[in-house]
Structure 1
């Protein structure tokens, strides 16, 4: 396959990164984060989640966030819409891309969205149909692709089934999520071999968490297999509320440093990005989990002694 010349980075920090923070984060801070990410050159930013505040209190201001964004030309601001109600609310805010999510693990599906995989797919059919009627693109997430906190190993065939179902329903891209970060490069390649038989590789994205420190190695492995879309979160923010001990997403700064080193174009300014990582982690009082971000900040003395 060979490495891609260009990689599209999907920044999930404002949504996936912040959604589990216990302390409320000001809407203004979320909007500034989104603006700074756009200024650093990111072209795909997941900005909010249209879910019930009862389930995800941190995303209660989704309308204010979605309508408050200073939109930059050429940047797509997307939102997670798990059901028709969420989609209608997002459409009212002028969203141009939405995402739905299913799990490759039955137990995770039950604990995360209170229904079976089959039921979750049935629920998404009208959501995807309605979005497409409104000329809004739909992205599909599949979680637990390399392991589940409740079931352990997940067969690639199960991931393929769920991915294919979402793709056939009309999702233009399928993001494969290693929700608990247990994957290793060989497993990641095997997964891609399986899913790639049913879905073209240019329609697949990698969404890898760094719980076991393997995310960059896994990304390198799938880049070699021709994957050219990577999901990441500024400063490695985020975790999973339904997966104990699961640390954040792979840090965007670390991904950009890797891509730069491989001569792969991402269009992102790393120094600008590192400053943003320092700013958001100081703003919300959380550690910066990006090794590259911390190293660059020390070099340019961004971190207060």
Structure 2
């Protein structure tokens, strides 16, 4: 690995008119104890691993731009500047086809008014696809608040602290090196711990591209690989690909909040079944995940 000067990398990313910085801030504000993410007004500080080394990412939002800084506890690998800009653009949802989506569905009888109220809505992203998968597996069949608590303990069990004091969200290598007992002690079930370790080992072995957001492998191909892992189902795959790769065509028909808010939107006496929700979402391909995000937005986009 070629290394360069250890000084922080700094860059500025232009933002489109009407960019909804508060959605991004809310997504990273989920943990009130701010173990790995600290959010103050228009600033986010996030602990992560950069090529296996603890790092701190700082984003500061202004009206038309975001100032970006990455500080690594060690020499900065060459090529980090381009990788950083690509990662942050994806994290902010700037690669998502929001404009085309809004134009295409502006006249839809049910969704048109919803989209108009939440114009410019994007799905905030995790720093890496692997982080999105850990969040998806952690959140299976438990409440958001419970998932946040388990995630905090998972970070303490498998992560490491950056010199700033922020804890870094574990990468695949750290999880693969963490024993199953430690993961279960953090609140993960036996099945979830085994799932995360199995995926981590595939990533470390180079058979699954979940750490590099610039991976050439298509989201659909990665989804097929994930579906083959015990403990991972369609909801987990769609959620992880949405939050990690910015793939906007995942069908989140199994999501409880999507079904509950679809019931409110359609004004039906009963909550739609998963099959009914899937059938309703199907015509909106390739934007089904964006539709789900707007359904979440009927209440809040922060917690999902």
TM-score normalised per structure 2:
0.29
Structure exhibiting the larger radius of gyration computed from Cα positions: 2
